[in-house]
Amino acid sequence: MAGGGLAAPAFLSTAKPNEKIAIACIGVGGKGWTDMLEVAPGNEIVAICDIDEERLAKAAVRFDKAKKFTDWRKLLEMPGIEAVTVTTPDHTHAPVTATAMELGIHCYTQKPLTHSIHEARQLARIAAEHPDLVTQMGVQHHATRRIKTAVHALREDHIIGKVSEVHAWTDRPINFWQQGMDRPAPGGEPPATVHWDQWLGVAPERPWVSGVYHPFKWRGWWEFGTGVAGDMGCHLLDPVVNSLELGPPATVEAEGPPPHPESGPEWCLVHYTFPGTRHTTDTLKLTWYEAGKQPSRELFQAPPDWPGTKNGLLFVGEKGNLFVGFPEMPELFPKENFADYQWADLPDHNHYEEWIHAIRGKGKTATPFAYSGPLTETVLLGNVAYRTGAKITWDSKNLKVTDVSEANQFLKREYRKGWEVPSLA
Ligand SMILES: NC(=O)c1ccc[n+]([C@@H]2O[C@H](COP(=O)([O-])OP(=O)(O)OC[C@H]3O[C@@H](n4cnc5c(N)ncnc54)[C@H](O)[C@@H]3O)[C@@H](O)[C@H]2O)c1
């Protein structure tokens, strides 16, 4: 039983200012490699875990004092761990993070916080029950000058007046990974260096196929990933939720190719409506675009030679539009209406350092699970609507879709026998 039977830690981990924090890193290839390097300065990487021994060996060269594991459950039995980074595929985030939090360990967990909406609600609950724990979801753009100035202009300066529509678009999955596929035929044995059963974890058993799941391409399969929404949704919708102080959506509806039971769509659009806030009109409409689809060029009111971007946000307000790209700086359109506007001077800071500082008692994290759990729920509701193939009405308080009962099957998954996590039941 994952997490069951693990001893409580000998201490609740509150580091003193400047004291080295004992950090364990779970998933140390791919993004996990950079997560590990980001949190290491001034701290001790005491343990590393990866199901791929080649990736683990590379990390062990860099951090030769760290104890090595291929099973995160064994790693969490090691005494003295104060904080963890969780950079595994999406389906493993919640089991690891919930187990770590129950052991009194601070968590930096990658976006999307979880694979399911039920898990996101549970992680936020566990975090609330452990107020001394410092949590952060990995949406590092949140700490950039680019996003901070855009959020400030909208939330503090109300520069475009009340916002009525937001458009959020990404070019993914094109050129990154494939979606809309049938499950492939079994593809032989995994390499001796890959612990496939550990990789599957809470997900149902299925045979290894080379080049299809591990590494990186798991994103396109519903059992493991959360599609394009999971990849870019938390990054793109974070500034929307943050600047407009949005609560949960009221309705969600998607369009795209017919839903596939195994894999995300080749493209889709998701239409959300949100109850208004003090920054918006009575209702806010949000449209999410995947696979290179974008709002019409006319809507931007940008100059004809404006280059646009592959990943970005457009806020449409009473007085004009605010654009911010990934990675372009914010701009206001039509330009002539905002010639005198002075953007706030809000320099970049480091999202990982913010977590480390908070563990040392200095400041707070900007994307703790109290914030990033609900944000992840909103992002994942797009997938629920898409997979249901109908417009859904969301009852956030009771965590259910009220009008299309089939949608509720996509809110929670069964964990594989032997991998149950009591606190996520
Ligand atoms: N914040 C960002 O900008 C950003 C960027 C990329 C990825 N991510 C997130 O990071 C996570 C990992 O993505 P990736 O692209 O690095 O994927 P990946 O498949 O390339 O890497 C995942 C790593 O975790 C290891 N792993 C898999 N299952 C494991 C388990 N049960 N225990 C320990 N290690 C395990 C893999 O061997 C691999 O080294 C995802 O949730 C993704 O959304 C965030």
Kindly give the interhelix angle for 145-155 and 234-244, rounded to the nearest 10 degrees.
30
Q: Residue 54 pLDDT more than 70?
A: yes
Q: Which residues of 196-212 are buried (b: 16+ CB within 10 A; e: fewer)?
A: bebbbbbbeeeebbeeb
Question: Is the CB of residue 30 less than 8 Å from the CB of residue 52?
Answer: no
Residue 12 has pLDDT above 60, yes or no: no
Strands 44-49 and 67-69, bridge-based pairing: parallel
Residue 16 confidence (pLDDT) above 80: no
pLDDT of residue 328: 98
Q: Which atom of ligand 1 is nearest to the CA of 72?
A: 32
Domain ranges of the chain: 22-141+352-368+404-424, 143-176+225-344
Q: Which residue among 50, 87, 210, 367 is best mutated to probe the pocket of ligand 1, counting the most ligand atoms within 8 A of its Cβ?
A: 87
Tens-digit pLDDT profile for residues 334-346: 999 999 999 999 9
pLDDT over 90 at 11, yes or no: no
For residue 7, the CA-to-ligand 1 centroid distance in Å is 27
Cα separation, 117 vs 8, whole angstroms: 27
Residue 14 pLDDT: 58
Question: Whole-model pTM above 0.85?
Answer: yes
Q: Decide: 31 and 87 in contact? Cβ < 8 Å.
A: yes
CATH 3.40.1010.20 is right for the domain spanning 143-176+225-344: no
Ramachandran bin of 27, using left for φ above 0, alpha for ψ from -120 to 50, beta for the remaining angles:
left
Pair 32, 376: CB distance under 8 Å: no
Model confidence band, residue 4 (pLDDT cutoffs 50, 70, 90): very low
Find the mean pLDDT for residues 366-374.
99
Among protein residues, the one with the nearest Cα to ligand 1's atom 39 is: 29
Q: CA-to-CA distance for 129 and 119, rounded, in angstroms? A: 15
The predicted model gives 209-220 an average pLDDT of 97
Q: Measuring CA to CA, which residue among 241, 268, 227 is closest to residue 380?
A: 227
pLDDT > 50? residue 225: yes
Dist CA 380 CA 288 (whole Å)? 12
Q: What is the 3-state secondary structure (H, E, C) of the chain?
A: CCCCCCCCCCCCCCCCCCCCCEEEEECCCCHHHHHHHHHCCCCEEEEEECCEHHHHHHHHHHCCCCEEECCHHHHCCCCCCCEEEECCCHHHHHHHHHHHHHCCCEEEEECCCCCCHHHHHHHHHHHHHCCCCCEEEECHHHHCHHHHHHHHHHHCCCCCCCEEEEEEECCCCCCCCCCCCCCCCCECCCCCCECHHHHHCCCCCCCCECCCCCCCHHHHECCCCCHHHHHHHHHHHHHHHHHHCCCCCCEEEEECCCCCCCECCCCCEEEEEEECCCCEEEEEEEEEECCCCCCCHHHHCCCCCCCCCCCEEEEEECCCEEEEECCCCCEEECHHHHCCCCCCCCCCCCHHHHHHHHHCCCCCCCCCHHHHHHHHHHHHHHHHHHHHCCCEEEECCCCEECCCHHHHHHCCCCCCCCCCCHHHC
Least confident of 2-16, 159-173, 242-256: 2-16
In the predicted structure, residue 6 carries a pLDDT above the cut 50: no
In the predicted model, what is the mean pLDDT of residues 87-93? Answer: 99
Report the percent of the chain where pLDDT is more than 90: 95
Atom of ligand 1 nearest to the CA of 55: 39
Question: Atom 11 in ligand 1: which residue has the minimum CA distance?
Answer: 87
What integer is the mean pLDDT of 50-72? Answer: 98
Q: How many whole angstroms from 153 Cα to the centroid of ligand 1?
A: 34
Closest ligand 1 atom number to CA of residue 139: 1
CATH 3.40.50.10800 fits 22-141+352-368+404-424, yes or no: no
Report whether pLDDT(183) > 60: yes
Pocket test for ligand 1, best of 50, 86, 213, 372 (most atoms within 8 A of CB): 50
Ligand 1, atom 22, residue with closest C-alpha: 88
Closest CA to 354 of 340, 342, 345, 366: 366
Instruction: Tell me the pLDDT tens digit for each residue of 117-131.
Output: 999 999 999 999 999
In this prediction, residue 19 carries a pLDDT of 87
Dihedral angle of Cα 78, 79, 85, 88, to the nearest 10 degrees? 20
Ligand 1, atom 33, residue with closest C-alpha? 50
Q: pLDDT grade, residue 187 (50/70/90)? A: confident
Find out whether 141 and 235 touch, Cβ atoms under 8 Å: yes
Q: Which residues line ligand 1 (CB under 6 A)?
A: 26-27, 29-32, 49-52, 55, 72, 87-90, 92, 110-111, 138, 140, 198-199, 201, 214-216
